[in-house]
């Protein structure tokens, strides 16, 4: 029984080989574009994570903060995941920095009665995988601490990055969806062609008492085989392409970026997608095709 | 048992069968005859569930065909052998594949299917044509492939539409003998034919159709 279905499906494919090769090519191309997009998105995501997480924060302290309170703030910062205190800038140092920065124009500073600059911590968030740091939340927590005057961080930059990622993701979904539709459409039409070329056989099968499933199964299998082979070829092509491409990219003088291949989960996703789309396509093609 | 109650069938304005009342018991051997266009094929197709009646109903072993579900009809057809007047063979399949289809849809084991197919083709005298394709066969040989496909599954009911139309007298006799032996094993056999030779000297029940009505029944 099962061997009958497989045999029929293979016969179908062999009898319409050119059509199948053509549609297989299109399926591979569609899944390939999809895979490339995943690859690109995955890497983009990686890189942006790294840049995005190099978040720096300035924590300004109130004037006249007690030693005790400062220790509290200090240990709180050290307790934040991924946080690293780059520098503590005392009021005096802040003034010195400013003086140095102003150079010749620094004269007015000596006329000040008291130092207006606050002491501050320069904190950098993690080189190592602290994506998902929520700067707004940390800022809120820190500002609740006694002795903290204000917290500033490079907010704009992050927002932009996240917005950009969202846009890329949205485009990915749209293109991915269209490509999936495309695959379903191709499979549907290929299977329809086989169905029409085997109309007589379907009629006769029904006349000798074949169940609908018996008649349909080879066609479902045919679509499934097509989708699965398409998926496998797409993944293989992606992998070959990846082997050819460089794994380190230096871009715009930034730190060299690792170009990584799709994680196994995504590869399996493409394979499953091929199979599922193949089945859906043939399902649609079969639809309400026969009634004898 | 096949029971027809007030059965009518129309094709547009054309009345093919009109108020047929008929009962065929399990294990009977019946000829249906009448001139061309009398409605013989239509009658067999109705019994097979391949046409829906305009009015009246058909019971096969107490199953009402008007109400039968699609899966049940599929199952019923596995027990009914049908020799189509136009054979309905698949040109791209070999003789033995054409016959084997009737068993494959039932889901029997491939080994059994091969054996049974071979046996049946021997019965109809086509053992040497197993690998041939239908279009390379003569009309009479194609007809015998159609017969083999109908009887290979040992049906409870055999509906044969003009099964000897393309056969010479010698083969006609052999095929009729074959039907008789199937009948002896308990199968209900209904043979539609307009061949007078076939009917001459037969002691079987003969139903004569004329313009869609039963004009004679030798029961
Ligand atoms: N599918 C159809 N569409 C329209 N008319 C049909 C159809 N099938 C049969 N008919 C008509 O119904 C009538 C009976 O046809 P049927 O085929 O049952 O005759 P028959 O007794 O089998 O004739 P023959 O001996 O030539 O095979 C004929 O008038 C035929 O034209
Ligand atoms: Mg006829």
Q: Which of the residue ranges A74-78, A135-139, B147-151 would you say has the lowest mean pLDDT?
A: A135-139
Tokens standing for A121? 């911590």
For chain A, give every domain's residue range.
2-51+159-291, 56-132
What is d(CA A226, CA A230) in angstroms, rounded to the nearest whole number? 6
Q: What percent of chain B clears pLDDT 90, i.e. is strictly above it?
A: 85
Chain B residues with CB-CB distance to A203 below 8 A: 88
Contact (CB<8Å) A208/B77: yes
Indicate the pairing of strand A148-153 with strand A55-61.
Answer: antiparallel
Measure A27 CA to nearest chain B CA, in Å: 29
B20 Cβ partners below 8 Å, 6+ apart? B4, B6, B7, B8, B43, B56, B212, B213, B214
Residue with tokens 């019965």: B123
If you measure from the C-alpha of residue B50 to the centroid of ligand 1, how many angstroms do you get, rounded to a whole number? 14
If you measure from the C-alpha of residue B40 to the centroid of ligand 2, how many angstroms do you get, rounded to a whole number? 5
| Residue A292 confidence (pLDDT) | 46
Chain A residues with CB-CB distance to B156 below 8 A: none
Whether the pLDDT of residue A10 is over 90: the answer is no
If you measure from the C-alpha of residue B183 to the centroid of ligand 1, how many angstroms do you get, rounded to a whole number? 27
Could you report the predicted ipTM of this complex, rounded to two decimals?
0.87
pLDDT tens track for B53-79: 999 999 999 999 999 998 999 999 999
pLDDT tens track for B161-194: 999 988 898 889 888 999 999 999 999 999 999 8
Q: Confidence band (pLDDT; 50, 70, 90) for A267? A: confident
pLDDT (average), residues B113-136: 95
| Residue A199 confidence (pLDDT) | 86
Picking from B32, B18, B22, the residue whose alpha carbon sits closest to that of residue B161 is B32
Q: Is the CB of B143 under 6 A from ligand 1?
A: no
pLDDT tens track for A96-154: 888 888 877 777 777 787 888 898 988 877 654 445 567 778 888 888 888 888 888 77
| Residue B213 confidence (pLDDT) | 95
Bridge partners for B209 per DSSP: B214
The whole-chain average pLDDT of chain A stands at 81
Chain B residues with CB-CB distance to A205 below 8 A: 101, 105
Answer whether B88 touches A (CB < 8 Å). yes
Ligand nearest to the Cα of B32, by number: 1
pLDDT tens track for B12-44: 999 999 999 999 999 999 999 999 999 999 999
Angle at B32 (CA atoms; ends B30, B36), nearest 5 degrees? 165
10 Å CB burial of residue A72 (0-12, 13-18, 19+) is middle
10 Å CB burial of residue B177 (0-12, 13-18, 19+) is exposed
| Residue B206 confidence (pLDDT) | 95
Cβ atoms of B77 and B50 closer than 8 Å:
no
Task: Using most ligand atoms within 8 A of CB, pick from B32, B38, B52, B195 the residue to mutate for ligand 1.
Answer: B38
- Cβ neighbour number for residue B218 with a 10 Å cutoff: 13
Residue of higher predicted confidence among A252 and A119: A119
What is d(CA B60, CA B3) in angstroms, rounded to the nearest whole number? 6
Q: Confidence band (pLDDT; 50, 70, 90) for A30? A: confident
The whole-chain average pLDDT of chain B stands at 93
Cβ atoms of B84 and B146 closer than 8 Å:
yes
Bridge partners for A125 per DSSP: A55, A83
| Residue A289 confidence (pLDDT) | 64
Q: Confidence band (pLDDT; 50, 70, 90) for A248? A: low
pLDDT tens track for A141-200: 888 888 888 888 775 566 667 777 788 888 888 988 998 898 899 889 888 888 888 888
């Amino acid at each position: 029984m099962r061997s009958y279905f497989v045999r029929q499906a293979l016969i179908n494919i062999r009898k319409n080989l050119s059509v199948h090769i053509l549609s297989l090519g299109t399926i591979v191309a569609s899944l390939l574009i999809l895979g490339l997009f995943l690859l690109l998105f995955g890497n983009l995501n990686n890189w942006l994570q790294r840049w995005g997480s190099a978040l720096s924060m300035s924590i300004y302290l109130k004037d006249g903060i007690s030693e005790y309170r400062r220790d509290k703030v200090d240990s709180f910062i050290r307790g934040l995941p991924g946080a690293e205190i780059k520098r503590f800038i005392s009021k005096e140092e802040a003034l010195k920095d400013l003086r140095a920065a102003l150079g010749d124009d620094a004269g007015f500073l000596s006329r000040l009665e008291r130092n207006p600059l606050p002491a501050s911590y320069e904190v950098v968030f993690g080189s190592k995988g602290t994506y998902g740091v929520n700067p707004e939340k940390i800022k809120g927590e820190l500002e609740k601490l006694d002795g903290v005057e204000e917290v500033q961080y490079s907010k704009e930059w992050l927002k932009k990055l996240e917005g950009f990622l969202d846009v890329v993701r949205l485009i990915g979904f749209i293109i991915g969806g269209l490509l999936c539709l495309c695959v379903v459409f191709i499979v549907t039409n290929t299977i329809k062609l086989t169905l029409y070329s085997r109309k007589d056989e379907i009629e006769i099968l029904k006349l000798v008492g074949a169940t609908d499933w018996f008649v349909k199964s080879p066609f479902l299998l045919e679509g499934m085989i097509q989708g699965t082979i398409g998926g496998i070829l797409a993944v293989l092509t992606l992998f070959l392409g990846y082997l050819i491409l460089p794994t380190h990219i230096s871009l715009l003088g930034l730190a060299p970026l690792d170009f990584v291949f799709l994680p196994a989960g995504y590869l399996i996703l493409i394979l499953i997608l091929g199979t599922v789309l193949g089945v859906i396509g043939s399902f649609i093609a079969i639809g309400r095709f026969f009634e004898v | 048992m096949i029971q027809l109650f007030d059965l009518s069938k129309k094709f547009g304005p054309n009345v093919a069968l009109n108020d047929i009342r008929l009962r065929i018991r399990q294990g009977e051997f019946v000829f249906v005859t009448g001139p061309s266009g009398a409605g013989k094929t239509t009658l067999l197709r109705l019994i097979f569930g391949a046409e829906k009646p305009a009015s009246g109903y058909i019971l096969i072993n107490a199953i009402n065909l008007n109400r039968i579900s699609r899966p049940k009809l599929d199952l019923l057809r596995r027990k009914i052998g049908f020799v189509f007047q136009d054979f309905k063979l698949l040109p791209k399949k070999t003789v033995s594949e054409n016959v084997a289809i009737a068993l494959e849809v039932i889901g029997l084991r491939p080994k059994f299917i091969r054996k049974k197919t071979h046996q049946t083709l021997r019965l109809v005298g086509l053992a040497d044509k197993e690998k041939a394709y239908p279009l390379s066969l003569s009309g009479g040989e194609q007809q015998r492939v159609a017969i083999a496909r109908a009887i290979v599954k040992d049906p409870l009911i055999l509906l044969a539409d003009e099964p000897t139309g393309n056969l010479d007298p010698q083969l006609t006799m052999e095929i009729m003998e074959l039907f008789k032996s199937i009948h002896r094993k308990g199968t209900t056999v209904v043979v539609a034919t307009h061949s007078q030779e076939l009917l001459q000297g037969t002691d079987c029940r003969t139903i004569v159709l004329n313009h869609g009505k039963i004009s004679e029944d030798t029961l």
